[in-house]
Amino acid sequence: MKIAILGGDGFVGWPTCLHLSEQGHEIHILDNLSRRWIDTELGVQSLTPMDSIQERCRIWHEVTGRRLNFHLIDLAKEYERLKSWLAEEKPDAVIHFAEQRAAPYSMKSDRHKVYTVNNNTNATHNLLAALVETGIDAHLLHLGTMGVYGYSSVGAAIPEGYLDVEVETLTGEKAQQEILYPTKPGSVYHMTKSLDQILFQFYAQNDGLRITDLHQGIVWGTHTDQTRRHEQLINRFDYDGDYGTVLNRFLIQAAIGHPLTVHGTGGQTRAFIHIQDSVRCIELALNEAPKSGERVRIFNQMTETHRVRDLAELVAKKTGAEIAFLPNPRKEAEENDLVVRNEQFLKLGLDPITLQEGLLDEVVEVARKYAHRIDRSRVPAVSAWTRDLGARVERDPEGRALRTVS
């Protein structure tokens, strides 16, 4: 297939490009490289040294003989360019990663909230409108998030996208209805993913677009089979308080002798998936496209759930690291359960990668190899959900700041 991968320079986008290219597909990367500019804004760099997207594509061709085609397009702002590109190239599938992905970044300030909504919502709607206008019958895969569901639990497993409900009619009879599972986003970022769901539902029913929405858990790990092929193909690896995912951050903290920073009680249960499983799930979903006129197909793209403090204890036991319990900058329940159904991917043949010893070691080894690139001052999570929570944020968990002598 000819596949357009929007946001193909990112944390999940890049290994997906390599994985699908190796499967024999013709890959086109559309990206505005905004994630690299955000690194500059935050004053932090990927733990792993990243070449330019052009150099990465060159190395992939040198190693494999396969080409990755890069196109610099801002999907949220350049609608006509996007529409013209689609009309000219006519991709068979479009994989949409092109959204600002960090909940903490989306809550840093009013400016970051506005940017996240403008970027994410406009990019999604521009894509949908362009697909309708060009008349291209491409399968659209979108990388969503488990966070649209929220993290509370009513004691039942979260289904894959849809919920069967019973409503009472005006005559007092009971009627069965199927609805999108009610969203309860925990940040502006998660809210944009909830808005995406409504846009997808409308365009599927109104225009017959074929859409798959992947509600993904927190990604951990570093390498895929393809990124191991050459050092310059290495994936980006975020460790800072805004973009670093929790398990990767714990493993990096352990590698550099930094306390494992658990916020609140650590009783929040999260869904997880290894980066290798993430790209494998995208491949599986790509081959299971809905037909025109069918409802949006929704998968829960996760393989296991863990409490944050349990993860910290696992890493501490493995590495000897200390655990520091800090005030929670997020507005969320201190304790929650999370039971999630993911039967669809299992039926399609996914053999899940769980928290394997060797893969945990791999992350620590990468962290130690590039430890000289870590700015310890960027490790703490300091973006707060409200002003009140911001006043209690711990910005110096290691006690390294200069103190006033009284």
Which element (helix H / strand E) includes 41? helix 34-42
Per the residue annotation, which of 48, 121, 124, 145 is the catalytic one?
Answer: 145
Q: Please, are residues 210 and 283 in contact by the beta-carbon 8 Å criterion? A: no
Residue type, 109: S
What distances in angstroms separate CA 227 from CA 8, 239, 357, one per listed residue?
Answer: 14, 19, 20
**What is the Cα–Cα distance from 45 to 49, expressed in whole angstroms?**
8
The position carrying tokens 């494999």 is 64
φ and ψ of 31, to 5 deg: -155, 145
φ and ψ of 303, to 5 deg: -125, -20
Does 193 qualify as catalytic in the annotation?
yes
**What is the Cα–Cα distance from 338 to 155, expressed in whole angstroms?**
9
What distances in angstroms separate CA 353 from CA 213, 253, 269, 273, 346, one per listed residue?
Answer: 21, 23, 19, 8, 12
User: How many residues in the chain?
Assistant: 406
Does 113 qualify as catalytic in the annotation?
no
Does 145 qualify as catalytic in the annotation?
yes
**What is the Cα–Cα distance from 150 to 187, expressed in whole angstroms?**
10
Q: 3-class SS at 42? A: helix
Q: Which of 346, 342, 6, 304 is nearest to 142 (CA)?
A: 6
Q: Please, are residues 73 and 79 in contact by the beta-carbon 8 Å criterion? A: no
Per the residue annotation, which of 79, 121, 193, 243 is the catalytic one?
Answer: 193
**What is the Cα–Cα distance from 195 to 183, expressed in whole angstroms?**
10
Residue 60: exposure state from Cβ atoms within 10 A (0-12, 13-18, ≥19): buried
Across the beta sheet with 218-220, the strand order is: 218-220, 269-274, 304-307
**What is the Cα–Cα distance from 375 to 370, expressed in whole angstroms?**
11
φ and ψ of 22, to 5 deg: -65, -25
Q: 3-class SS at 239? A: coil
**What is the Cα–Cα distance from 255 to 244, expressed in whole angstroms?**
15
Catalogue the active-site residues.
Answer: 145, 189, 193
